[in-house]
Amino acid sequence: MDNYDKIFINGAWVKPVGQDTIDVINPATEAVIATIPACVAADAYAAMGAARAAFHEWSQKSVEDRVDYLRKIHEGLKVRAQEIAETITNEVGMPLKLSHIIQAGFPIHQFDSMAKVATDFDFETEVGNSKVFREAVGVVVCITPWNYPLHQIAAKLAPALAAGCTVVLKPSEIAPINAFILTEVIESVGLPKGVFNLVTGTGPVAGEALVSNPDADMISFTGSTTAGRRISEIAAQSIKRVTLELGGKSAAIILHDADMEKAIKGVFKAAYINSGQTCAAHTRMLVPESQYDKAKKIAKDVAETWSVGDPWDKNARLGPLVSDTQFERVQEYIEKGIADGAELVTGGLGKPEGLTKGYFVKPTVLGKVEPKSTVAQEEIFGPVISILTFKDEDEAIAIANDSIYGLASGIWSDDGERAMKIARCLRTGTVDINGGAFNPNAPFGGYKQSGNGREFGTYGLEEFLEYKAVQL
């Protein structure tokens, strides 16, 4: 077991003021694998003070200098890619073969990608008799989730540093070890003191102290919609900029002309990845009413190919959920769905056969789900797909848009023009047509209560910049 007893402030590892610790649990074994500090407000204030003191000098550095540090961090993370993948598999439970690609590969790429974006970005333009500058917003608090822990850190930290901001990071206390690895890399490349600071702890204590601190100019948060509301309330007291990447209840529309088997397999990939613990998971599968029986049979067969097991087993497609709390939450939703009249197509309550230890859930499909039912409206965050039916395209669009969320959606059709027309009608930040691949340089974010602001590529960099007009 690893004992992390220090946090990173002003370029040094220091003992926190808070004396309590938090256990980090391996969700596959339920064993404690590490302890981290449970920081208090005093620790948050110290980190914020260091970031504020470092801001002027860092923001005035040339873009080339800042980009050089991003590239050094990229190279440092590459060296530790195997360790990162293994660490996050132990923290989150994603199968190791996927962790290599997603949990290690994507965030490592982000630092290199943002270096290229910043190099090509126009930080100065001319508009008539004005010079318009894009300048760093200031000191940024980054609060990140547990499901894609390092990926979400990189999506915030890389553009913030490129923009000239200084950062205080509070990673999820559920999956924090990867943040310590990143911090060790940052220390090794010699990033100036105070530019990056690491504080660990819970949201209600360390997180709220950071959000409310007057030295914070911007809050960048990824997590639950409930927590996003709370952060918005606190930040509004001092008019801080806030970007939020929150929940989702994404719909995948399978049209009459689609290859049903291919489409359903694609929906499962978009819904079950990371055991369904993905904000953009396509968990509402909309199929033509006349093809429900066919869709149900295919969905049952496909779901049962998603083997559940030890995330270190190369044959496992699904690992455990991240915690006992998450396991119980998903069980309650499955039970609620059945009680409300949904048809249990496959899966259901309890753990998969032979898995008595760990927070494993049966891959579940619920059929004949009503659009207004709980399981069709609320984010479950587990490997649970709901099948809904529609009579025509207009009804499919109406059902897909009938949600407080607007993060992602999907369309399956053999008619590209038809699919694009429907995509324009969906109130979501991203739309995948026929399983279009994730693009790490395209804007990612949501409409409605899925949040505000965008991440990745040029769009992510712009979130951390202010406009300044100088009239000549």
Cα 200 from Cα 169, distance rounded (Å): 8
Q: What is the pLDDT of residues 16-32, one digit of tens each?
A: 999 999 999 999 999 99
Would you place residue 299 in the very low, low, confident or very high pLDDT band (cuts 50, 70, 90)?
A: very high
pTM for this model (two decimals)? 0.97
Q: What is the mean pLDDT of residues 301-320?
A: 97
The tokens describing 12, both together, are 């040094």
Q: What is the pLDDT of residue 193?
A: 98
Task: Please tell me the number of Cα atoms within 13 Å of 392 on its side-chain side.
Answer: 1
The tokens describing 389, both together, are 């039916």
Sheet with 124-127, side-by-side order of all strands: 124-127, 130-136, 465-471
Q: What is the mean pLDDT of residues 279-290?
A: 98
Q: What is the pLDDT of residue 373?
A: 98
Instruction: Reply yes or no on whether 279 is catalytic.
Output: yes
Q: What is the mean pLDDT of residues 421-429?
A: 98
Question: Is residue 184's pLDDT more than 90?
Answer: yes
The tokens describing 287, both together, are 């199929």
**Between β-strands 430-433 and 196-198, what pairing exists: parallel, antiparallel or unpaired?**
unpaired
Position 78, amino acid? K
Cα 159 from Cα 460, distance rounded (Å): 6
Residue with structure tokens 């992602």? 408
Query: Is the dihedral angle over the CA atoms 98, 101, 105, 110 positive or is it negative?
Result: negative
Q: What is the mean pLDDT of residues 396-414?
A: 98
Task: Give me the catalytic one of 173, 279, 379, 455.
Answer: 279
End-to-end CA distance of the chain: 62
Would you place residue 1 in the very low, low, confident or very high pLDDT band (cuts 50, 70, 90)?
A: confident
Q: What is the pLDDT of residue 237?
A: 95
Cα 260 from Cα 412, distance rounded (Å): 9
Q: What is the mean pLDDT of residues 140-164?
A: 98
Please report, rounded to a whole number, the percentage of residues in the chain having pLDDT higher than 90. 100
Instruction: Reply yes or no on whether 379 is catalytic.
Output: no
Q: What is the mean pLDDT of residues 233-247?
A: 97
Cα 75 from Cα 189, distance rounded (Å): 10
Cα 102 from Cα 120, distance rounded (Å): 26
Q: What is the mean pLDDT of residues 104-132?
A: 97
Task: Give me the catalytic one of 39, 165, 173, 245.
Answer: 245
Please report, rounded to a whole number, the percentage of residues in the chain having pLDDT higher than 70. 100
Q: What is the pLDDT of residues 44-72, one digit of tens each?
A: 999 999 999 999 999 999 999 999 999 99
The tokens describing 464, both together, are 């951390």
Would you place residue 145 in the very low, low, confident or very high pLDDT band (cuts 50, 70, 90)?
A: very high
Q: What is the pLDDT of residue 306?
A: 98
Would you place residue 108 in the very low, low, confident or very high pLDDT band (cuts 50, 70, 90)?
A: very high
All structural domains of the chain:
2-246+450-471 (3.40.605.10), 251-439 (3.40.309.10)
Alpha helices in 206-288 (DSSP H): 208-212, 225-236, 260-272
Rg of the chain over Cα atoms, rounded to whole angstroms, equals 23
Round the average pLDDT of the chain to a whole number and report it. 98
**Between β-strands 32-37 and 21-25, what pairing exists: parallel, antiparallel or unpaired?**
antiparallel
Q: What is the pLDDT of residue 441?
A: 93
Would you place residue 236 in the very low, low, confident or very high pLDDT band (cuts 50, 70, 90)?
A: very high
Cα 363 from Cα 252, distance rounded (Å): 18
